[in-house]
Amino acid sequence: MSAVTFDHVSRHFGAVKAVDGVSLDIAEGEFFAMLGPSGSGKTTCLRLIAGFERPTAGNIRIFGDPVQNLPPYKRNVNTVFQDYALFPHLNVIDNVAYGLMIAGQGRRQRHAAAEEALELVRLSGYGARKPSELSGGQRQRVALARALVNKPRVLLLDEPLGALDLRLREQMQEELKSLQRQLRITFVFVTHDQGEALSMADRVAVFDHGQIIQTGTPEDIYFRPEVPFVADFVGSSNVLPEALVARLTGESRPASIRPERLKLAAEGPLRARVTGLSFLGLATRVSLEAGDTRLTCLLPQDAARPAEGEDVALDWEPGDLHMMKAGA
Amino acid sequence: MHSDRAPLSLKIAAAAGLLFMHLPILLIFAYAFTTEEKSFAWPPPGLTLKWFAVTWNRPDVWAALQLSLKVAAISTGMALVLGAFCAAAVSRSRFFGRETISLMVILPIALPGVVTGIALRSAFSIADVPFSTWTIVLGHATFCVVVVYNNAVARFRRTSGSLIEASMDLGANSFQTLRHVIMPNIATALLVGGMLAFALSFDEVIVTTFTAGQQQTLPIWMLEELVRPRERPVTNVVAMVVVLVTLLPILGAYYLTRGTDQVAGQGK
């Protein structure tokens, strides 16, 4: 059964089409990422599911029930907000128990459930503290516990890791992933970080200008982008323009090739000049120029390195050149 | 070379400034105990506590005090309701003319009391409204609303908008959100605004002279009393009470908001 279904949903703010004719289908138990640059409509989509926004057109269903006219408090979904939105006047345990308090549970019962949820996010014993006494990472876990304690059928996460530093973010990515597997709740996750989307999600929808450009597994998105925008946005893939591809293959379509799949060779179909080298640890990134086209190639650490300014030939396996649709 | 200690001249100037501001008030207190009742002679020829008893037995004092408390209480109540709703509307939603409305709410406190008073008096006479307690209350409410509004709007600004969304997301309807999230977050701001509004209303003279009919609030009663020399130290006793009644809420407001936000509108 589908957890969330969008049927040609639009949300226009005056002349601004924040979400424009989006259709999507999120399966139950799926970890679904909505990826896109800021202003691409991904957060508005999340707010449409939560009920903070109403669609100007189209239908939204949650587990089959139409919800477009239901207020947020009548939907069985919960949100982890980007700024966490913890209640500053309540301590941690009352923050987590808020939803249960509203639902009419007694103090003892809801505190026990809240303590359990805090244990789930590894914050046992923090119940008496005020949100202002916690670090960013701890606040994030409280926000997670506060949402999960209500046993939502869909959990919405709005850039939940955006405010954390790199190491904490990597740690939380793994924790979120294992939490999702453990609880079997449908997670819908909004992010502008392609690495985050690819590493955590079962499926990714790439947004641009209020529309979904491509939906697929992380492997689809990464290795088989349908249009240059996706190739460009999801990691630094090399996009070969139509004219160049026409010369190489005879087909007038843009194509993409991953930097790690480009090889420096003695002979190859494409010649380029080395414009820069940077050491990345596991690999060396080589910046290249083939006519007007800038390319990047990742060399394994044990490969021979060219010199800057040198002319090299580029080669690849036939299957690595991925043909895309013409246009944007 | 700079010294950490203030120079003597600066200390003297500071002391003189403080004396200049506070000595007259101490004089008022001193005259409450004088034995001389026709004129204020310095030094007081003798000290007595009898004026406290005299004041206690004067029905006109009680009537004026009662009216002042009543007016202050009602206008504070009106200010709390109107000011809080106004602040919520201005800070929670975007609409055409929002900034203008915000300015118009604050304007009465910038307007000289004389202008507010004359404006209200002519408005009442055009509308044929007879002077009563309610006209005084309306006059006071014009500036009390501002004080409450300013405090509430500052608090709303610091309260993240997503708190309300979070509350709704967790199943609370509008009323439950108001009760469990909005009220606890703006309660101290409202308390402070209310205390200041009460203190402002309690010692207001100018607007009251234009909007009161035959009734006397306590400050108006004191003004009249100074013109008629009869048991003059009674005025001083009342003055002491007024100082205490208005000072305590202002001090309370100061301590409640210390280190949080600016207490707006203390100046009026």
Q: What is the pLDDT of residue B2?
A: 58
B161 min Cα distance to partner chain A (Å):
8
User: Are the CB atoms for A286 and A299 separated by under 8 Å?
Assistant: yes
Nearest neighbour of B162 by CB, restricted to A73, A85, A103: A85
Give me A206's structure tokens.
């790439």
Q: With 0-12 CB in 10 A as exposed, 13-18 as middle and 19+ as buried, what is B45?
A: exposed
Q: Does A163 touch chain B (CB under 8 A)?
A: no
**With an 8 Å Cβ cutoff, are A73 and B168 in contact?**
yes
Mean pLDDT of A108-125: 93
Whether A283 shows a pLDDT value over 70: the answer reads: yes
Nearest neighbour of B165 by CB, restricted to A52, A87, A103: A52
**pLDDT (tens digit, 9 = 90+) per residue, A42-54?**
999 999 999 999 9
A86 min Cα distance to partner chain B (Å):
7
At residue A134 the predicted structure's pLDDT band, cuts being 50, 70 and 90, is very high
Cα distance between residue B31 and residue B43, in whole Å: 9
Residue written as token pair 């209480």:
B73
Q: What percent of chain A stands above pLDDT 70?
A: 99
Q: Does A13 touch chain B (CB under 8 A)?
A: no
User: Are the CB atoms for A120 and A145 separated by under 8 Å?
Assistant: yes
A104 min Cα distance to partner chain B (Å):
11
Q: With 0-12 CB in 10 A as exposed, 13-18 as middle and 19+ as buried, what is A202?
A: middle
Q: Is residue B191 a part of any domain in this protein?
A: yes
B252, HSE (Cβ side, Cα atoms, 13 Å): 18
Q: Is residue B84 a part of any domain in this protein?
A: yes
Task: Give me the residues paired with residue A216 across strands.
Answer: A204
Mean pLDDT of A4-16: 92
H-helix or E-strand spanning residue A108? helix A107-120
Residue written as token pair 């060396």:
A284
**pLDDT (tens digit, 9 = 90+) per residue, A176-192?**
999 999 999 999 999 99
Q: What is the pLDDT of residue B229?
A: 66
At residue A264 the predicted structure's pLDDT band, cuts being 50, 70 and 90, is confident
Residues of A in contact with B180 (CB under 8 A): 98, 101-102
User: Are the CB atoms for B145 and B139 separated by under 8 Å?
Assistant: no
Q: What is the pLDDT of residue B214?
A: 82
Task: Give me the residues paired with residue A265 across strands.
Answer: A313
Cα distance between residue B42 and residue B94, in whole Å: 61
Q: What is the pLDDT of residue B251?
A: 84
Q: Is residue B234 a part of any domain in this protein?
A: no
**With an 8 Å Cβ cutoff, are A146 and B173 in contact?**
no
Using the 8-state DSSP alphabet, how is residue A5 labeled? E
Whether A299 shows a pLDDT value over 50: the answer reads: yes
- How many of the other CB atoms lie within 10 Å of CB of A268? 15
Give me B253's structure tokens.
């407001």
Distances (CA, A) of B192 to A243, B148, B151, B153: 71, 8, 7, 13
**With an 8 Å Cβ cutoff, are A79 and B171 in contact?**
no
Q: Is residue B138 a part of any domain in this protein?
A: yes
Nearest neighbour of B169 by CB, restricted to A79, A88, A103: A79
CA nearest to A238, candidates A222, A259, A215, A265 = A259
A145 min Cα distance to partner chain B (Å):
12
Q: What percent of chain A stands above pLDDT 90?
A: 51
Residues of B in contact with A98 (CB under 8 A): 167, 170, 172, 180
Residues in chain B, pLDDT under 70:
1-4, 229, 257-268
Q: What is the pLDDT of residue B261?
A: 41
Q: Is residue B75 a part of any domain in this protein?
A: yes
Q: Looking at chain A from residue 294 to 313, which residues have their Cβ under 8 Å from any Cβ of chain B?
A: none
Q: What is the pLDDT of residue B103?
A: 85
Q: Is residue B86 a part of any domain in this protein?
A: yes
Q: Does A88 touch chain B (CB under 8 A)?
A: yes
Nearest neighbour of A81 by CB, restricted to B162, B184, B185: B162
Using CA atoms in the order B260, B162, A43, A192, what is the torsion angle rounded to 10 degrees?
Answer: 30
Tally of domains within chain B = 1
Q: Is residue B183 a part of any domain in this protein?
A: yes
**With an 8 Å Cβ cutoff, are B172 and A52 in contact?**
no
With vertex at residue A44, the alpha carbon angle to CA A42 and CA A49, rounded to the nearest 5 degrees, is 100
Beta-sheet strand order (sheet of A322-323): A238-240, A255-257, A322-323
Q: What is the pLDDT of residue B3?
A: 57
Mean pLDDT (chain A, rounded): 90
Q: What is the pLDDT of residue B265?
A: 38
Whether A163 shows a pLDDT value over 70: the answer reads: yes
Q: Name which residue leads in pLDDT, A134 or A280.
A: A134
Cα distance between residue B172 and residue B48, in whole Å: 63
Q: What is the pLDDT of residue B258?
A: 64
**With an 8 Å Cβ cutoff, are B185 and A51 in contact?**
no
Containing structural domain, residue B205? 62-216
User: Is the reported ipTM for this assembly greater than 0.95?
Assistant: no
User: Are the CB atoms for A233 and A226 separated by under 8 Å?
Assistant: no
Q: What is the DSSP string of A282-299?
A: SEEEEEEEETTEEEEEEE
**pLDDT (tens digit, 9 = 90+) per residue, A197-245?**
998 999 999 999 999 999 999 998 988 888 888 988 887 678 888 888 8
Whether A258 shows a pLDDT value over 80: the answer reads: yes
Q: What is the pLDDT of residue B264?
A: 39
Q: What is the DSSP string of A124-138?
A: TT-TTS-GGGS-HHH
Q: Is residue B144 a part of any domain in this protein?
A: yes
Cα distance between residue A34 and residue B212, in whole Å: 65
**With an 8 Å Cβ cutoff, are A85 and B173 in contact?**
no
Q: Which of A251-255, A307-311, B170-174 has the highest mean pLDDT?
A: B170-174
CATH number for the domain that contains residue B119: 1.10.3720.10
